[in-house]
Chain A
Amino acid sequence: MNLFRKALQRSPWVFHVGTSGCNNCDIEILDCLTPRFDVERFGIKLVGSPRHADILLVSGPVASHCKERLEQIYKEVPKPCLVVCVGVCACSMGVFKDAYSVEGPPDRVIRAIDPEATFVYIPGCPPRPEAIIMGIVKALQSLDGKVS
């Protein structure tokens, strides 16, 4: 199992879920994937299907119509997987706090269906690509229990 964990740390495939943010964090996530930042150095790869993913990159507060989709996508990901909340809205709702059309941050929505889920928070509006890469790397280290 140790070998598997080591391999997982070096080969995180991410799936990008936009839960109705303002698109700013989404653009920063795409910036991460450009040759300038070259996330393939860490084995990070953007995949098109949640079935191939190890990490869900969730950006934005969860709007009412997105709640069902986010739950479904989380169930589709093979475990073990991590959820990374990108941006201040996904961490703590940001300006959308107490708004009538949102269901709460992604961690609350996902914890409702899977209390065991692991979360990593990357604050910022939007977070810089360096911060996103660092967040993912720390998330992977947390699998070993190095970072709490």
Chain B
Amino acid sequence: MDNVGFYITTFLFFPGILFTAVVGLVFQWVDRKVSARLQWRKGPPFFQPFYDVVKLFGKELIVPRISSQTGFLLAPLIGFAGVALVSTILWLTNLDPTRTFVGDLIVVFYLLILPSLAIIWGGTSSGNPFSAIGASREMKLILGYELPFIISVLVVAFKLHTLSLGNIILIQQAEGLVIGNISVILAFLVALVCAPAKLGLPPFDMAEADTELMEGVILEYSGVALGLIKLTQAMSFFVLTVFLSIVFLGGLPLGGIHLLWSLLKVLALAVVFILIKNTNPRLRIDTAMKFFWGPMTLLAVFAMVLAYLGY
């Protein structure tokens, strides 16, 4: 327990809350700028996401009278803490792959669901019918995408015979990228489709659906709480790209020329999500469920069978 101070520092500054928040907001700027360029617009200035968050932190926080106050105020904090913690685990493992523990892949799975669960709790506590509809959609969506997403990541774990992130990085650095196998390519495709649903990006944004449910789950939030939720979303975007690059693309080494290559990996993944987001209209919740439990799960299971057969 003598290095508690070290872990608290890593959680608060690098690579925890501060680092993830800043890089997450930069990623949100990339998202908005690329979207704007795709629509032949000029797009927002570089500091736009920072202005948004600072402004939201300074605004009045209104708690609706009919809401359940504890859940309403606690939920954004829990989601924020979850995403900061998962970022800390991922980056500590990435910086030093030997600093790993058995089954941290499973811990990361659980922590990645935490923001979605928190937002469901917050949405249902707010007492707004639109938020309730949004929360119920988010719940169904989690049931939909988690199955193919977990199977697709387990393909890599099965292929490398390990459940720890550090070993996944070490083996890939020693024996070449795992993405060379056809089963892992299929699994990677499935994970790429599940990731926008995990982030609530179009075409899987039916829980927020701003034209239909008026932002759904986060409708009643204002001020600091809304700022935290927006920050959590921006951070999740960054954290999920890091997670996918660690599992499928062999980690993000930061030394020398590797830094450029790592940056390219995360940015390319982010741009893929942005392209999916800008070229697809929103799906209905039942279509999305059929899509995830039908073709996506089948593809993931097929990839698993291929991995079992040694491809």
Contacts and interface: CB of A to CB of B under 8 A. Distances in A.
Interface of A: 1, 3-4, 6-8, 10-11, 35, 38, 40-41, 43, 47-49, 51-52, 54, 76, 78-80
Contacts of A76: 62
A4 B54 contact: yes
A4 B62 CA distance: 18
Given A11-B48, A78-B60, A35 B55 contact: no
B226 interface: yes
Interface stretch (B1-9, B33-41, B170-178, B273-281): B33-41
Interface of B: 32, 36, 39-45, 47-48, 50-52, 54-55, 57-62, 210-211, 213-215, 219-223, 226
A51 B219 contact: yes
B214 A7 contact: no
Contacts of A52: 215, 221-222, 226
A35 B43 contact: no
A76 B219 CA distance: 12
A43 B43 contact: no
A43 B44 contact: yes
A41 B45 contact: yes
B55 A8 contact: yes
Q: From B43, B44, B55, name the one whose CB has the most chain A CB atoms within 10 angstroms.
A: B55
Contact of B61 (A10, A48, A78): A78
B29 to A, nearest CB: 11
B58 A4 contact: yes
Contacts of B210: 47-48
**Residue from B43, B210, B213, B222 with most neighbouring chain A CB atoms (10 Å):** B222
A10 B56 CA distance: 12
B48 A43 contact: yes
**For the complex of A and B, 9 pairs with smallest distance between CB atoms:** A4-B58, A48-B214, A7-B54, A78-B60, A7-B55, A11-B51, A38-B41, A51-B222, A10-B51
